[in-house]
Structure 1
Amino acid sequence: MPRRSRTRGGLPEWLSQTVQPVFVIDSRRVVLYFNRGCESLTGWNASDLIGQIAVWASTGDATVSATLLSALVPPVALEPTTHRVHLLTRDGQSLDRVIHFFPLAAIELDSTLDAEPQRWMGLIVPPPPPQKLLPVATESQLHAELSALKADLRRRYQLSQVVAQCSSMRRVMIQVQLAVSCHAPLAFCGLPGTGKEHLARAVHAAGEHRVRTFVPVDCRQSPRLLDELLDSLLAPEREEPPIPVLRRGAVLLQHADHLPRDWQRRMTEEVDLTAGSGAVRWMIAVSSPLDLLVQSGELLPEFCDRFGVLEIHLPKLGDRPGEFPLLVQQAIEVANTTGDPQITGLSPDVWQQFAAYNWPGQLDELFAVIQEAHAASAGPLITVRDLPFRFRAGQDAQTIGPAEVGLLAPLEETLARVEREQIQRALEQSGGNKSVAADLLGIPRPKLYRRLESLGLLDDGNGL
């Protein structure tokens, strides 16, 4: 019987040559293997990714390997797991895929040796029909949705740092796209914490002067410090710094509704808002629409005309309920970029508490709470015990109901009672002398007699 010939190379060679995308990653999230099927699918070479660490944070930028790596983060549980992922290829193509993770258990030969990192093999396949899809972790679904949204926002608006899925935020993104394409001064209007500075930075990062410095100025600081800072910004630079990052590219006046009126006049007259290669982009951030601030006298009309050419209104967090899970996921992924642990989501009871909370601090409070919970968590989910004191204090404040308000009494009855009490106190202090009582009440003596008679307090005493 003829002897079978064995294919040279064995399993490693087969995996390397197959068109089926296969990769291996360990519990440190280091990519160990990336076959030709993966290279063909993603456009990235194995040499670009092997040895790199995957972080559970999407950017939406197809030109950096971190965007692809974020989809390859392995599960925590040592069991077969399915992740729904969004793959952004190197040329910007958006792919909806499923990764089946299989743990590769090591053979324990010597218990005295340090345990090696756990490894997973990942199989990337197209998603099957919805009815046949295996259960997918909610965290991986949110990660995939956020990655897809960021890729779409980058394609449409050249921005991916902003979550914009609802109609109000889509309108904001259209205005932002217009703002990026021109040099007109911008006014961002919205409650404190709605992300005005974040959006201003995003506009600057997408503009032609993105390599230059973004300068935020808090108009609430002390008058002396504010005067020094604004004087330096208005003064022409003696020499243009040779390094672009040292040049001013954009200035954001935060809390501009607190800017003193004399500075509003001076900036209206002196700031050069014309476009040019060396021009500075001016922006302001306020808490109310500009027309209301003009009506209240907080801002001068001429200041708003100059610095509010394009007015962008940001909705509050409560007006974005459909985006809330994606905003939470974005906050988690931002926290993941600061280091371990890599958090994949929230426990069910934390989701419940987040949904019931009013978030008075808006987006800033949400991101701060998740950042602190991330630092306290052991992973992979943020639990109730990880939530910071600021959140628990906010919950307690919202569980205390408003002070009880008594029923309103008829006005005439209330006025008569108060008048009676005041007249009686005056008569007591005067020892019943009506002339002195009238002086204490600041009314003429005849008027006091009329009020005594009207209230039924007149007697036949000798107080005259």
Structure 2
Amino acid sequence: MNRSAGRRTRLDSRLNSLQTPLFLLDASRTVVFFNQGCEQVLGWPAEEILGQTCDYAVDTDPEECESVCNLLCPPPEVFQGTRSEVPRFLLTRSGKTIPCVVRYTPLVDEQNRTRLVLGIIDRIEEPHKLPSASAAQQLHVELAALRLSLRNRFRFSTVIARNAVMQRVLRQLELAAHSREPVHFQGEPGTGKEHLARALHFESEQRRKIFVPLNCQKLPPRELKQTVKKIFEKDLDESMPLEPGVLYLAQIDHLSRDVQEIILENIQPQRQMETVRLMTACSCSLNELFEQEKLLPDFYYLITTLQIHIPSLRERKEDLELLAQHYLENENRYQQKQVSGFAPGVLSLFHDYYWPANLDELSQIIQAAFQATTETVITRDSLPLRLMSGMDARSLGPALPPLIKPLEQTLQQVETEQILQALEQAKQNRTEAARLLGLTRAKLYRRIEALGIPLDEDS
């Protein structure tokens, strides 16, 4: 055996046997080394981790090795040659959370290109207090901490909720997960009603059945009626190979009364264990729909069993930065390009914006900025024009109210303008001008004198 090859083998063996947890990633973020120290800390054997690709994104599923790998991923700037110490909450295979700091060292070749990244894991007491972490890294840690906390408390780790109203929503979802009662989601467009309905479904006993979303406004009435019938009759085709578990109806203010009757015929208290669960959503008040007779009385009482109000993004500003980081890290998944956070000033700009389309708009803005940026952070220059235009429109402020003049002054001005216009049209013939104004010649003279209108005496 070649002597140098033997030395490398011995070195690999020594590094592998170390109790200090260390790992190596190549330039494509693939795990190429994962020693026994990492195995002992994280509870995953090397053979299941090696070859996995890491993305800079928070995951909270202890049963997926992808979650472990993503939590080990360094910030993108490390691959540009920057050493970094990053606070992290790592997740073991048993589900235990480990606060630590991961120290990343880029290993470069003769052209100063990063070929490998060495990561060393040090357990610490409180990752939030690491002074060397950047603002973007701290936000990444806060997002991980919140998602892990929500997973432990409510089991809903995909819902970002630091806001008190959203915490109440999670408590309602937790209660709803243990029942089969209909649930109605109320909130402005874009507040994430369908996402919450899906999260509820996948935490319920029906999770192995499929979630069927139907938009009552977008689907033609006949197609909607036929689809609802098929779902309850279980007359399914190849597009729906599994049994439905939830029927989610969005925009129920457009739901016809005959479809409501079909639902009422199939969803009855004594048959709830035999049929699909009903979830509904709309942006307007159910009481108003009921008063306008758009909802049948029995259908109204059915869907108001459990109502969950979803706040707008404007009402949960304390969640805004974490939501932005969450959407950004979702863009990182399975992409060669990785973006770690936001440049100074971007998040404060987000706080100043009104977000009329709520979470949907925030997600679209982040997606567009991710595609546009050429840096490792989102900058103001990478933000889409529609956001900046919206900011400029709001900075102009409301239109100034019209100036109110004294009524007498306004009437005199209008009367003077009308008399002068009539005289001009009548070519200064006062008899004709009086006729145009519907006045006698004498009355016209009196008004001209009272208003002080100068006249050519020769006319």
Q: For this structure pair, what is the TM-score category when the shorter chain's length is used for normalisation?
A: 0.7 to 0.9
Matches of 1:45 and 1:318 in 2, distance apart?
A: 45
Q: Is the 8 A contact 1:146 1:326 kept in 2?
A: yes
Please name the residue that 2:65 is paired with: 65
Query: Which residue, 181, 201, 218 being the options, matches 1:204?
Result: 201
Please name the residue that 1:347 is paired with: 343
Query: Which residue, 168, 179, 183 being the options, matches 1:182?
Result: 179
- The CA deviation at 1:209 is 2.4
Please name the residue that 2:216 is paired with: 219
Q: Secondary structure at 1:163's aligned position in 2?
A: coil
- 1:52-91 aligned at under 5 Å gives the runs 52-75=52-75, 76-77=77-78, 78-91=81-94
Residues 331 and 130 from structure 1, CA distance in 2 versus in 1: closer, same or farther, beyond 3 angstroms?
Answer: closer
Q: Secondary structure at 1:282's aligned position in 2?
A: strand
Q: Is the 8 A contact 2:317 2:351 kept in 1?
A: no
- More divergent stretch after superposition (88-97 vs 9-18): 9-18
Identical-pair percentage: 33
- 1:298-313 aligned at under 5 Å gives the runs 299-313=295-309
Matches of 1:93 and 1:189 in 2, distance apart?
A: 35
Matches of 2:128 and 2:156 in 1, distance apart?
A: 34
AA in 2 matched with 1:69: C
- The CA deviation at 1:355 is 2.2
In structure 2, the gaps of 5 or more residues are 1-6, 427-431, 452-459
Question: Aligned residue pairs: how many?
Answer: 426
Q: Is it true that 1:166 corresponds to 2:153 in the alignment?
A: no
Query: Which residue, 223, 234, 245 being the options, matches 1:228?
Result: 223
- The CA deviation at 1:243 is 10
Matches of 2:158 and 2:303 in 1, distance apart?
A: 25
Q: Is the 8 A contact 1:98 1:125 kept in 2?
A: yes
> Can you list the C-alpha shifts for 1:285-330, whole angstroms capped at 9, x where unaligned?
1113433443465545443211221100011111112211110111
Q: Is the 8 A contact 1:58 1:70 kept in 2?
A: yes
Matches of 2:128 and 2:259 in 1, distance apart?
A: 62
- The CA deviation at 1:135 is 0.9
Q: TM-score, normalised by structure 1?
A: 0.80
Matches of 1:243 and 1:405 in 2, distance apart?
A: 57
Please name the residue that 2:102 is paired with: 99
AA in 2 matched with 1:37: G
Residues 168 and 418 from structure 1, CA distance in 2 versus in 1: closer, same or farther, beyond 3 angstroms?
Answer: farther
- More divergent stretch after superposition (239-248 vs 373-382): 239-248
Please name the residue that 1:441 is paired with: none
- The CA deviation at 1:140 is 2.2
**RMSD of aligned C-alpha atoms?**
3.7
Q: Is the 8 A contact 1:186 1:282 kept in 2?
A: yes
Q: Is the 8 A contact 1:25 1:121 kept in 2?
A: yes
Q: Is it true that 1:25 corresponds to 2:25 in the alignment?
A: yes
AA in 1 matched with 2:261: R
Q: Is it true that 1:12 corresponds to 2:8 in the alignment?
A: no
Matches of 2:302 and 2:309 in 1, distance apart?
A: 17
- The CA deviation at 1:52 is 0.4
Q: TM-score, normalised by structure 2?
A: 0.81
- The CA deviation at 1:256 is 1.3
Q: Secondary structure at 2:390's aligned position in 1?
A: helix
- The CA deviation at 1:277 is 5.5
- The CA deviation at 1:282 is 1.2
> Can you list the C-alpha shifts for 1:172-209, whole angstroms capped at 9, x where unaligned?
00111111111111110111111111111111222222
> Can you list the C-alpha shifts for 1:313-367, whole angstroms capped at 9, x where unaligned?
0111111122111101110111112523111111113223222211111110000
Matches of 1:245 and 1:84 in 2, distance apart?
A: 44
Matches of 1:403 and 1:131 in 2, distance apart?
A: 46
Q: Is it true that 1:256 corresponds to 2:264 in the alignment?
A: no
AA in 1 matched with 2:307: E
